């Protein structure tokens, strides 16, 4: 992993209650491995999904979660900060201290709708609102199928407002051998948009160096 391009970068990452927690956890792992500072938040529903999909217990208290994840990914002190759902003193709550980018992965349709409507009742929604108003990069990874007309209209509204809608649709031209390869395909696309270097897979037109 080449971390030079992302050493001073700060990325806000939010997990919500859609299926797809392996995408979010893998993204967190690689952001930290690249030396990126990460501000992490997650909803109560995301805690349920993490346990169901990964048998991972995410603590409700931010400090406990921070310590657990810091040990899990062997990060330096201060590189990862976890904030509670209503921690309005968190840096992500103000346009005076925005991150370089924010990713909501996975993103529920409820969270997407709240962001599209400008409703900032929780810190995740407020953080996304800050990114839009400050013209910073906001990436939403909606995991739902099929999409209703309401879902599509909300996504179009957000895209027109500057957000990037990045559904977790893995490609197969790199011949993934297992589910990890499919997850990495999606995470690689997110990292590209965030501007964090990676070597997860060869790019289109490049020969694979992976055995």
Report d(CA 29, CA 23) in Å as an integer. 10
Question: Would the annotation count 189 as a binding residue?
Answer: yes
Task: Check the annotation: does 209 bind a ligand.
Answer: no
In a domain, 203, yes or no: no
Q: Residue 190's domain spans which residues?
A: 4-194
- Does 15 map to a domain? yes
Q: What is the pTM of this model?
A: 0.93
pLDDT digits 0-9 by tens, 27-49 = 999 999 999 999 999 999 999 99
Residue 17, marked binder:
yes
Helix (H, G, I), strand (E, B) or coil at 175: coil
Residue 26 counted as an annotated binding residue: no
**Residue 123's CB: how many other CB atoms inside 10 A?**
22
> What is the C-alpha separation between 66 and 48, in angstroms, rounded?
18
Looking at residue 70, which CATH number applies to its domain? Answer: 3.40.50.1950
Residue 75 among known ligand-binding residues: no
State pLDDT tens for residues 190-201. 999 999 999 998
Distance CA 115, CA 127 (A): 9
Q: How many domains does the chain have?
A: 1
CA angle 29, 59, 28 (to 5 degrees): 10
Q: Quickly count: other Cβ atoms within 10 Å of residue 14's Cβ.
A: 28
């Amino acid at each position: 992993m080449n971390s030079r391009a992302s050493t001073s970068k700060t990325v806000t990452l939010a997990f919500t209650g859609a299926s797809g927690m392996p995408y979010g956890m893998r993204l967190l792992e690689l952001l930290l491995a690249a030396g990126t500072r990460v501000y992490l938040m997650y909803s109560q529903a995301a805690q349920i999904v993490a346990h169901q999909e990964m048998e991972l217990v995410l603590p409700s208290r931010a400090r406990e979660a921070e310590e657990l994840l810091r040990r899990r990914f062997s990060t330096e002190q201060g590189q990862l900060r976890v904030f509670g759902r209503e921690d309005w003193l968190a840096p992500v709550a103000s346009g005076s201290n925005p991150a370089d980018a924010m990713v909501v992965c996975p993103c529920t349709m409820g969270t997407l709708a709240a962001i599209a409507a400008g409703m900032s009742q929780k810190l995740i929604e407020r953080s996304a609102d800050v990114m839009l108003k400050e013209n910073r990069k906001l990436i939403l990874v909606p995991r739902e199928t099929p999409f209703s007309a309401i879902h599509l209209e909300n996504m179009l509204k957000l895209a027109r407002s500057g957000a990037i809608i990045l559904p977790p649709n893995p490609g197969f031209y790199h011949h993934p051998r297992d589910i990890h390869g499919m997850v990495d395909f999606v995470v690689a696309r997110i990292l590209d948009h965030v501007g964090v270097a990676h070597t997860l897979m060869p790019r289109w037109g490049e020969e694979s160096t992976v055995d």
